[in-house]
Structure 1
């Protein structure tokens, strides 16, 4: 693949951690503006070079970073504008709700769970006492921009109880240009290795890609807080379809128009070995009412056309492993199959990734990754080497070097022969100096001809105002 070099043009700095970057045309406006949502709950937009506040919901957001040394994966995670925003003023938010902090679903640090193939109990854990053993509550809300420019909440679409503080998705709300529905991407609920195997359970909301029909969605004041589809009131069940399962954690979904259809790109964050990007064109979403019916009758519904990314049995193209350290020689670390039976069970049903990249990669032109943070299709021609490609970001190079940290920008192309694809690192010419630069988000404009990169100077959400948003330029 050809070497591509780009520039980074700073648009705005001294921001809190930027989780969502996308553009929209507001009612009565004539230009497309860039919107930036931060993890702590602010939404800004850029107009004529001036940064303005669109909405500030910081009081509604759970207190971040307190229980985890400043690191957190909760907060304001999703922002999506209705395709008819210009006419109806509607937009959607996904965030972790203030005052809902619980003790967590398992004792110990939030990422401390590891399966032990010699101990069946660790392979078959159940999430019990969910009303009290949970970490927090996430909500999906519909808001409206009023004629006076003020925004107001209209209704709550979903209230979801989450077992751990991590894997809640990021850039988790996007509208499908194919179906016109709101797409919610939820992570597996967190910890490590999906302790309760929520991602493969058809009744669990965690670990899925869900379509919400917001036109059909009925008004229910304060819908109940749930973890499973069958706990939802019937009118809400009827508005939901499920596109995919087997998700670990997703930085959103991206759509690329290809003749008269759309290629969907989904990045699945890895556990210990690889980060993976999946692509698919055809799928058959399953109505939640059908999933519930099959569950009640103890029968398996037809899974034909239902996308399965394979987690927790598979991490990308590999059976999920955990690593036993070889202290004498780390290059000989032993990789032990974590869930052999599940890897077999899901081996035929899962789809293969478009690409996987490794946490350790000895090849000179590649990089060791940490966590996938964004996947976007690029259809512009300003950067010819990237036209028609899929661009992705990784949080930080995993090269054992000390600070300062650097994120990674890379790209791949879609293949029509279904073979595992290659990727190439994109070189950037920006000098971050001695400051760390974690690449935390990737965004695009409405016609996918511009790319935006969110960078943060720290891994901690409690280290404030260290964010910069760049445009990726030739």
Structure 2
């Protein structure tokens, strides 16, 4: 693949950790503005080179700083503008709700056996660890996420209109990020949600058709359910019928996900989905045709104890598969510390999903000795680029990794890379995009990637720390030739 070099042009700096970068045209305005959502709960937009506050919901956001004020995957995670935002002022938020902190989903007996529940590992020799159930969900959970509809009123003040979903989450991590996007094909709101967290999907939520976790869900926001405060749920069959009727499931088998991106291809759209890996590999999937299943149909099949028709339904394969590999656990080799033993973690899950699953478009690895590649840690953004400004990238799929794993000392650097669409279902190659920006001695974690409405411009969110409680260390760049 050709080597592509770009520059990073700073747009705004000294902000909190940027989770979503999108553009929209404000009602009555004529210019597309860049909107920036931060993990702590602010939404800014850039107007005439000045940063302005669009909305500040920090008091609504859960207190961030898991395990003593460090890394966290909760907060303001999704922002999407209605396709008719210019006319109706509607936009949508996904965030973790203040005051909902719980103890977590694994009782203390499990915790003492496994270590911290956030870092659960299955033991193929111990069937109990392969078949854990999430019990006492009303009290054993980490937090509650909400998806809300807001409106920009004629006086310029945003106001909440209604709550679409309240989701109880078992652990602090894998809630998705850039989790709300509108489909240009269906006009519906797409919610991308992770498997609920910990590691290795201990409850196999991603493959369970009744679990809301680990899915890509379409919400028909045109149907107003008039249920002002829906119940807090974890499963589709716990939702009131009017809400069930607004939902379709596009895909399952999701571990964690930095959103969905749509690339126009003649009169169709290619959908790109990045799935964050466990120990070995990060993967990007693509698909054109799919057949979503109405939630009412999934519930009916569950009641009848039958399998719904899953022809054309997308399955990314987790937890049996991590990208193109059977999911494995890693044990150090005592005889040779430079080698690791990789054991299949969930053999039965791997076999069961081997035929149903979609193959990745491309994968990159946590360790990669090839000179022109890199060791990654976590995929944080996937966007298609349709502009001509950076000719080497036109029509390609650009992605970001949180932090390059060089096994070296700080400062840390994120990675920008790209791959190309292909239609023959073979695993595709990828190439690092070289940047000329000098971050100096400051770390630079790449936290988010965004585009404008017609995908001719790319935006990159960078943070100087991996800790959400280290404030005002964020910069948003435009990626330019």
State yes or no: 1:431 paired with 2:447.
no
More divergent stretch after superposition (366-375 vs 213-222): 213-222
Residue in 1 that maps onto 2:26: 26
* TM-score in terms of structure 2 length: 0.98
* Secondary structure of residue in 2 paired with 1:341: helix
Residue in 1 that maps onto 2:135: 128
Q: Distance in 1 between matches of 2:177 and 2:367?
A: 24
Residue in 1 that maps onto 2:219: 212
Residue in 1 that maps onto 2:86: 86
Any unmatched runs of 5+ in structure 2? none
The answer to whether the Cα contact below 8 Å between 2:213 and 2:234 also exists between their aligned partners in 1 is: yes
Residue in 1 that maps onto 2:184: 177
Deviation at 1:418, TM superposition (A): 1.0
Partner deviation per Cα, 1:224-265 (whole Å, 9 max, x = no partner) = 000000000000000000000000000000000000000000
* Secondary structure of residue in 2 paired with 1:87: helix
Q: Distance in 2 between matches of 1:71 and 1:3?
A: 34
State yes or no: 1:54 paired with 2:63.
no
Residue in 2 that maps onto 1:72: 72
Q: Distance in 1 between matches of 2:187 and 2:336?
A: 53
Q: Distance in 2 between matches of 1:328 and 1:454?
A: 42
Any unmatched runs of 5+ in structure 1? none
The answer to whether the Cα contact below 8 Å between 2:96 and 2:144 also exists between their aligned partners in 1 is: yes
Query: Against the structure 1 CA distance between its residues 304 and 460, is the aligned structure 2 distance closer, same or farther, given a 3 Å change threshold?
Result: same
Aligned to 1:143, which of 139, 144, 150? 150
Aligned to 2:396, which of 389, 396, 404? 389
Deviation at 1:331, TM superposition (A): 3.2
Q: Distance in 2 between matches of 1:420 and 1:161?
A: 36
Q: Distance in 2 between matches of 1:348 and 1:401?
A: 40
Residue in 2 that maps onto 1:63: 63
Q: Distance in 2 between matches of 1:2 and 1:177?
A: 30
* Secondary structure of residue in 1 paired with 2:83: coil
Alignment of 1:221-240 (within 5 A): 221-240=228-247
* Secondary structure of residue in 2 paired with 1:392: strand
Query: Against the structure 1 CA distance between its residues 267 and 449, is the aligned structure 2 distance closer, same or farther, given a 3 Å change threshold?
Result: same
Deviation at 1:112, TM superposition (A): 2.0
Deviation at 1:399, TM superposition (A): 1.2
Query: Against the structure 1 CA distance between its residues 445 and 61, is the aligned structure 2 distance closer, same or farther, given a 3 Å change threshold?
Result: same
* Secondary structure of residue in 2 paired with 1:203: coil
The answer to whether the Cα contact below 8 Å between 1:110 and 1:165 also exists between their aligned partners in 2 is: no
Query: Against the structure 1 CA distance between its residues 415 and 66, is the aligned structure 2 distance closer, same or farther, given a 3 Å change threshold?
Result: closer
Partner deviation per Cα, 1:350-378 (whole Å, 9 max, x = no partner) = 00000010000000000000000000000
Partner deviation per Cα, 1:153-209 (whole Å, 9 max, x = no partner) = 000000000000000000000000000000000000000000000000000000000
Residue in 1 that maps onto 2:301: 294
Q: Distance in 1 between matches of 2:2 and 2:408?
A: 27
Residue in 2 that maps onto 1:331: 338
State yes or no: 1:317 paired with 2:324.
yes
The answer to whether the Cα contact below 8 Å between 1:82 and 1:91 also exists between their aligned partners in 2 is: yes
Q: Distance in 1 between matches of 2:447 and 2:338?
A: 29
Deviation at 1:330, TM superposition (A): 3.4
Deviation at 1:326, TM superposition (A): 1.8
Residue in 2 that maps onto 1:278: 285
The answer to whether the Cα contact below 8 Å between 1:46 and 1:52 also exists between their aligned partners in 2 is: yes
State the superposition RMSD in angstroms. 0.7
Count, aligned residues? 474
Aligned to 1:464, which of 461, 471, 476? 471
Alignment of 1:439-454 (within 5 A): 439-454=446-461
More divergent stretch after superposition (423-432 vs 212-221): 212-221
Q: Distance in 2 between matches of 1:39 and 1:222?
A: 24
Q: Distance in 1 between matches of 2:266 and 2:337?
A: 48
Q: Distance in 1 between matches of 2:58 and 2:335?
A: 49
Deviation at 1:417, TM superposition (A): 1.1
Query: Against the structure 1 CA distance between its residues 80 and 439, is the aligned structure 2 distance closer, same or farther, given a 3 Å change threshold?
Result: same
